[in-house]
Amino acid sequence: MIEAKKLPEEYGSLVFGDKVMRERLPKDVYKAVHKTIVSGTHLELDVANAVAVAMKEWAIENGATHYTHWFQPMTGLTAEKHDSFISPEGDGSVIMEFSGKELVKGEPDASSFPSGGLRATFEARGYTAWDPSSPAFIKDGSLYIPTAFCSYGGEALDKKTPLLRSMEALSKEAVKMMKLLGYEDVNRVNTTIGSEQEYFLIDKDDYMRRKDLLFTGRTLIGAPATKGQEMEDHYFGVIKPKVSAFMHDLDEELWKLGIPAKTKHNEVAPSQHEMAPVFETANVAVDHNQLTMEVMKKVADKHGYACLLHEKPFEGINGSGKHNNWSICTDTGINLLDPGKHPDENIPFLITLIAVIAAVDEYAPLLRLSVASAGNDHRLGANEAPPAVISIFVGDELTKVLDSIRSGKSFKGAGKEKMEMGAQVLPHITKDNTDRNRTSPFAFTGNKFEFRMPGSSVSVANANIVLNTAVAEVISRMTEKLSGLAGDELHDALTALLKEELIAHEKVLFNGNGYTDEWIAEAEKRGLPNLKALPDAMPHWIGEPSVELFTKHQIFTKEELDSRYEILLENYSKSINIEALTMQEMVRKDLTSGIIAYEQDLTKEILQKEQALPGAKAALEGNILKTLDEASSQIAVKLETLKKDTLEAESIEDPLAQADFYEKKVLADMDELRVYTDQAEALIPDEYLTYPTYGQMLFSLR
């Protein structure tokens, strides 16, 4: 356990970060690495060699015998292959070696990772390339080196590469904009991300006894407990002692890995919790979120829990998301989404704000797709999560600012020195005044936007790739229109441009309750897309606006887009297929054995009662037996339909048609079957069931 007063020392003790590098690297090497990290410049091999030596020594001192290139293939998970540092000497002894070449480049076989067709046209070989901007760390006796993963032909086979590209693109466009506004000293703009992570904890033994949780991450059958979340007694509630011990351990493990875990609390649903870190550069934040999910599972296991990261583990109970807090900040320290008190800073803020509004409206289908998965589709649009319609909440204060832009009286003067906001509104905007709207999928929260649609289990890389690129595009479009202008001309053009963009995109603004049916109807009138399921949204990914956007900013080539299209659809269909098969098996074996055993005992009981007490009605037992029999007859019918449709789904060749069939038929069959399985289960005493019930799983934590 880390002593509280030793925390600053222990924090990041397993990370080869800036502090360690400054201590251990020769000055010129440190400078070169630092420059690479801060400004993204290329790193020479001699520098890499020097870093490798220091890294190896540090890693061995800290107990590592192996190193691994750690990467994020398109499965959305992480991947690793470990090599030891040993090098045999010929006399039976070994020395520990690690070269700059080994640090910089790895060659894992790419052939078993999904490539979405990229593999057919290119070699199976894949390369991992060191990402110096995300620090290496030690875990389970290995040195982990964050890397990008690409094919022999250079196509990105991972999520990190396009994320880094999108950060570059946004930086490039935002720097141009800042220079135009007179901020000559800005040379880089950084995307910052804080991703709040929701999760469930349940007893590990309970978890092990449910095939649905083991194989699919969510419960496929299960009658609701007689208590749900209606008492609203869990959110921010007192943390139970065992859970608290878990959270404490989790914090420590994360801190040692340099992950700035900050906030922890109980969430709305029973057994649901949240951890929020302090924000970091997008690339590091995404790596850290991937690690966080892994550490959560590991620490949970140590404490006798299973950590559920699925978006909707329990029917009728809130699902889990991952709020993606997003902003951009210049290398001179200006948060471009901070309204600030000083009017000078507000011109960049206004442009950024309008650019985000325009980007979110224009590329809403892509944002929707960036969070699409079989799991998250169960959450979006359910009444506890944002709907599948994307809208932006800006709050009252910013609405006033937008009103003044619309009326064209927003600011006077031009150029950095002279520009001034219509001061009457802005000084009042402080972080604390921003009101809350928990129902909005995309909300302004004082000095950042919070994108609330990402699911709890997915990498947030996709969401930020889309967001960064879309905003880069709008900023680029705006800067182009203003380029070459100065003084009054710039001022007039800017005023007109902000107004024009706002009017064109204000349909995406909505400050009301996003969970209501009225809003869905209103959104339709406004022409906002409502892409409920992944297959509905998927064609947008390879549509013309998407291809144009991503190829223009060099985030994805057409082939890279196609490959992701295929993988996402395939993954979706496979997930539902596994669910359908698991459900069939659980119903046929586990639930049915419970039904039979209980029916037998009921029948025996009724017969015995009649013998012992001629004329006895056995009404209660009889009614239960009858209802159970009716439910099981329906189960038999629905099970057959599900079986038939699952077989049909498996035989469909076109990936989009297949995904669509899984969504429209197989999922619907599963819902229908579930009505009767849950009816039956509700009648059966717990001891007749081979698996734990909702009540047991959700309310047994201490």
State the residues that interact with Mg ion by CB under 5 A: 323
Residue from 7, 214, 245, 278 that binds ligand ADP (CB under 6 A)? 278
CB of 235 to ligand ADP, least distance (A): 13
Sort residue 399 into left (φ over 0), alpha (ψ -120 to 50) or beta. alpha
**195 vs 646 by CB, closer to Mg ion:** 195
572 binds, among Mg ion, ligand ADP, none (CB under 5 to 8 A by kind): none
Counting contacts by CB under 6 A, is residue 276 touching ligand ADP? Answer: yes
Stretch of residues binding ligand ADP (CB under 6 A), selected from 9-17, 191-199, 392-400, 687-695? 191-199
**114 vs 348 by CB, closer to ligand ADP:** 348
Per-residue CA distances from 643 to 499, 603, 665, 666 (Å): 56, 30, 11, 9
Contact call for residues 327 and 187 (beta carbons, < 8 A): no
Counting contacts by CB under 6 A, is residue 327 touching ligand ADP? Answer: yes
Cα 208 to chain centroid distance, Å, stands at 25
168 binds, among ligand ADP, Mg ion, none (CB under 5 to 8 A by kind): none
448 binds, among ligand ADP, Mg ion, none (CB under 5 to 8 A by kind): ligand ADP
CB of 395 to Mg ion, least distance (A): 14
**200 vs 279 by CB, closer to ligand ADP:** 279
In this structure, how many other beta carbons lie within 10 angstroms of the beta carbon of residue 46?
Answer: 11
Contact call for residues 387 and 371 (beta carbons, < 8 A): no
310 binds, among Mg ion, ligand ADP, none (CB under 5 to 8 A by kind): none
665 binds, among ligand ADP, Mg ion, none (CB under 5 to 8 A by kind): none
Residue from 73, 135, 194, 395 that binds ligand ADP (CB under 6 A)? 194
Looking up tokens 């290119």, which residue turns up? 122
Counting contacts by CB under 6 A, is residue 325 touching ligand ADP? Answer: yes
Q: Per residue in 677-694, is it b (16+ CB within 10 Å) or e — as a string? A: bbbbbebbeeebbebbbb
CA angle 51/155/540 to nearest 5° reads 130
Q: 508: which DSSP letter?
A: G
* Residue 321 tokens, joined: 């998301």
CB of 196 to Mg ion, least distance (A): 5
Instruction: Please name the residues in contact with 6: beta carbons below 8 A apart, sequence gap of 6 or more.
Output: none
Cα 350 to Cα 15: distance, rounded to the nearest angstrom: 38
Q: With CB under 6 A, what is the number of residues at the site for ligand ADP?
A: 16
Cα 130 to Cα 611: distance, rounded to the nearest angstrom: 79
CB of 513 to ligand ADP, least distance (A): 18
**325 vs 370 by CB, closer to ligand ADP:** 325
Residue from 72, 142, 161, 192 that binds ligand ADP (CB under 6 A)? 192
Residue from 445, 464, 468, 573 that binds ligand ADP (CB under 6 A)? 445
Residue from 12, 106, 258, 277 that binds ligand ADP (CB under 6 A)? 277
Q: 223: which DSSP letter?
A: P
Per the DSSP assignment, residues forming a β-bridge with 156 are 150
Counting contacts by CB under 6 A, is residue 332 touching ligand ADP? Answer: no
566 binds, among Mg ion, ligand ADP, none (CB under 5 to 8 A by kind): none
Using DSSP's 3-state secondary structure scheme, residue 462 falls into helix
Cα 342 to Cα 544: distance, rounded to the nearest angstrom: 41
Cα 351 to Cα 130: distance, rounded to the nearest angstrom: 35
Residue from 447, 571, 573, 632 that binds ligand ADP (CB under 6 A)? 447
Counting contacts by CB under 6 A, is residue 448 touching ligand ADP? Answer: yes
Q: 686: which DSSP letter?
A: G
Counting contacts by CB under 6 A, is residue 335 touching ligand ADP? Answer: yes
**108 vs 194 by CB, closer to ligand ADP:** 194
Stretch of residues binding ligand ADP (CB under 6 A), selected from 78-86, 90-98, 272-280, 628-636? 272-280
**323 vs 505 by CB, closer to Mg ion:** 323
CB of 250 to ligand ADP, least distance (A): 16
Cα 360 to Cα 354: distance, rounded to the nearest angstrom: 10
Counting contacts by CB under 6 A, is residue 546 touching ligand ADP? Answer: no
459 binds, among Mg ion, ligand ADP, none (CB under 5 to 8 A by kind): none
CB of 280 to ligand ADP, least distance (A): 8
* Residue 624 tokens, joined: 């239960």
Which amino acid belongs to residue 228? Answer: G
Counting contacts by CB under 6 A, is residue 289 touching ligand ADP? Answer: no
Counting contacts by CB under 6 A, is residue 279 touching ligand ADP? Answer: yes
CB of 460 to ligand ADP, least distance (A): 12
Contact call for residues 365 and 529 (beta carbons, < 8 A): yes
Alpha helices in 587-654 (DSSP H): 592-612, 619-650
Q: 128: which DSSP letter?
A: E
**85 vs 451 by CB, closer to Mg ion:** 451
Cα 384 to Cα 256: distance, rounded to the nearest angstrom: 34
Cα 134 to Cα 122: distance, rounded to the nearest angstrom: 28
Cα 21 to Cα 215: distance, rounded to the nearest angstrom: 43
Counting contacts by CB under 6 A, is residue 193 touching ligand ADP? Answer: yes
**72 vs 325 by CB, closer to ligand ADP:** 325
Q: 156: which DSSP letter?
A: B
Q: 124: which DSSP letter?
A: S
Using CB under 6 A, list all residues that contact ligand ADP.
Answer: 192-194, 196, 276-279, 325-327, 335, 445, 447-448, 450
